[in-house]
Amino acid sequence: MKKQKFKLVILIAVLGLLTIAYYSFAYFNNKPTVTINGHVFEVDVAEEADDIERGLSGRKDLADDQAMLFIFPRKQELAFWMHGMNFNVDLLWIDGNKVLDYEKNMPAPGDNTAIRDLPRFFPSQPVDKVLEIKAGLIDLLGIKIGDSVDINID
């Protein structure tokens, strides 16, 4: 009888530890997300000037469920370029929680392109966020102006 109680206590303790480990893992590995048209993107968030300037430059590729979210302190007309990019992207201009405008298939420049020669991309109106996603996903996911954007960065 004592062995059965001991085994039960051990089993409960192990289950408790596994539950704590599971929720701790989920808490500490909870990546920020952006959801558009039911598609969830895990995002890297750029809010500081250095992160905003660097963006996705230097990366080799971007998966269909990954993105870079740029957050600005106020609405503004921003200029984006593709300096140091190794792949094409689609860019979504976001105002609040709505897609305001977009650029499709922004081309990665050649390695020898000088910064002054890079094309600049601008929104049609001031925005407070920009989302860079893999090229082609705007069409594939049917994203359009006015679509809702759910941002979870907590």
How high is the pLDDT of residue 27? 47
* Residue 34 contacts residue 131 (beta carbons within 8 Å): yes
For the segment 14-40, what is each residue's pLDDT rounded down to a tens digit?
Answer: 766 665 655 544 445 578 999 999 999
Query: Closest Cα to residue 52, out of 128, 153, 143, 113?
Result: 128
In tens digits, what is the pLDDT along the chain, a chain of 154 residues? Answer: 677 777 776 768 776 666 565 554 444 557 899 999 999 999 989 876 666 666 666 678 889 999 999 999 899 888 887 777 788 899 999 999 999 999 998 888 877 777 787 888 889 999 999 999 999 999 999 999 999 999 998 7
Whether the predicted model's global pTM rises above the 0.85 cut: no
